[in-house]
Chain A
């Protein structure tokens, strides 16, 4: 079992003919993901990846032709909002947007629209999802994680890889890993994923990887203390970050004494979450 994506997930890749889109579609296929379609306006009718994946002009046509139920977006930031609107309109169940650098006003409109439509978005500015042994939707390297019963949810990319790899080195695996992304306005938040893990019979414990900025970790802590029965382990990046500076991720900024690592760690510990000093320590904590 898993959450959000599994072996039955049928993926349409928006922007499949671009360099990143093509490379990662190949990686997903090799992992066993059902990449059933790609889109690129003006290239409908072509095939890519040795004739394995058909290209369509639009998501709507791709969904009608292939019954794709999940879209993954590799479209540049300039065009990403339109791509998300397009996927939402075409009727997929899940949209995963990897694009970094989407203007925040675009994301506010996108999020409002998807809320009206009732469509789930993961991201943007995220590495996507991985259900080890079944499917990967996004760019998380498949070989760094093994099947298991630990749910992983993270605002970061490579930091997530670090944790998955440390778990694997210690013989532990993940049920599903969800990268929710580092932007201030995103689609799916910690609480959404925590509640899915809480209800997933194959997930025994959860790892939450947060970072400075915003108040999502504090809200997650509140949810954990009220509604979670499964043990949660945490890590917060940015303890040494200076205030007022944007630390790479658009969302990672400490504003006016809010969103500091210390506040988040305190909230999580108060909710009974064991918080690690460094990412590799999480694996050791779960072991004991």
Chain B
């Protein structure tokens, strides 16, 4: 789950990282009031979950509260990379002397968090990593020990931050680590961390990604989720415990298990078709889940045929068949449905379905070929 800049910075501030004074709003008049309270000179920043906000005109400097109001109004009318701007953050304008990058993420290969710092902050860090990797200092953190002071020292020395800033740097680095750890982040990033004219460190932009699997520990965050990022159908699928990802093809897929779902998409492509979606009904799927899955697939107007591939282990073939039949009564699709059931109670499931005049298949290859043919109107 992605957090907005204002949400991330608020969390960082809770752990002792200095951030600019500011507030978030979705109302231009309110934006003016916030700017007045902050003394007039402010930055108006769109809160959308994509990169490149600045280049898209989503970040502007205002010299007066009136300007702040006008800019807020303009920015709130923008759509940046397909996402509507619903909120703006009004921050006091900072006096930037130097820009530093700080970020913590999971190093999957090392199976440990890695703390990265660079004196080349403020720009796209992926570009720095690609062109001048030596400018990024990396420190791996033992997940059982946590961030140690000597590691922060190595980062500070590595990016050649002046010694009088070390005490502040310790505070910021440990604050970022605590935010990362306490919130189960997969990324916690400050870019840039600035040095102000008066020699203060301050996080003027922030970003956090939270591990979806850990949201049970952070239920307060669930209410702050930005639903603009997800297709409506994906949100609906989640309610039923299904994983659905919409694609552009014409063959709807319903499969149990993520790996098999991907393999089913691949084999459709192999035989000359295009999958319309990824859909994993999960283990132990029941009638209700199957019916919901079929409804979601059939909502996609591009779907010309549906391929259902179920390998019963925990999932029972007869229950899957009943779910399909009950969904069919509800939606009554006019497109061909190809079903392959193998494993637990599959024979009973096949019997129920063939009575309903569905196309059945024995092997995965046969099922995929039939689905591809059916989607092209050939039977």
Contacts and interface: CB of A to CB of B under 8 A. Distances in A.
B111 A280 contact: no
A190 interface: no
Interface centre among A106, A155, A162 (most CB of B within 10 A): A162
B260 A103 contact: no
The interface residues of chain B, by DSSP majority, are classed as mixed
A144 B343 contact: yes
A248 B269 contact: no
Contacts of A177: none
Given A158-B256, A252-B262, A278 B365 contact: yes
Contacts of A238: 262, 266
- Which bucket holds chain B's interface residue count? 35 or more
Contact of A248 (B108, B258, B365): B258
A239 interface: yes
Interface centre among B181, B214, B270, B284 (most CB of A within 10 A): B214
A241 interface: yes
B109 interface: yes
Contacts of B284: 20
Contacts of B113: 105, 108
Contacts of B335: none
A113 B144 contact: yes
Contacts of B217: 103
B356 to A, nearest CB: 24
Given A162-B263, A278-B267, A214 B108 contact: yes
Interface in A152-171: 154-162, 165
A182 interface: yes
Interface string B116-128: 0000000000100
Interface residues of A, number: 60
Contacts of A78: 216
Given A182-B258, A239-B266, A241-B265, A248 B280 contact: yes
Given A77-B213, A158-B313, A247-B278, A109 B262 contact: no
A56 interface: no
Contact of B213 (A104, A141, A240): A104
Interface string A197-238: 000000000000101101100000000000000000001011
Contact of B313 (A141, A182, A241): A141
B259 A157 contact: yes
B314 interface: yes
15 contacts: A23-B314, A103-B213, A108-B106, A108-B112, A109-B144, A157-B259, A158-B257, A158-B259, A159-B262, A162-B342, A162-B364, A211-B258, A247-B258, A248-B280, A280-B365
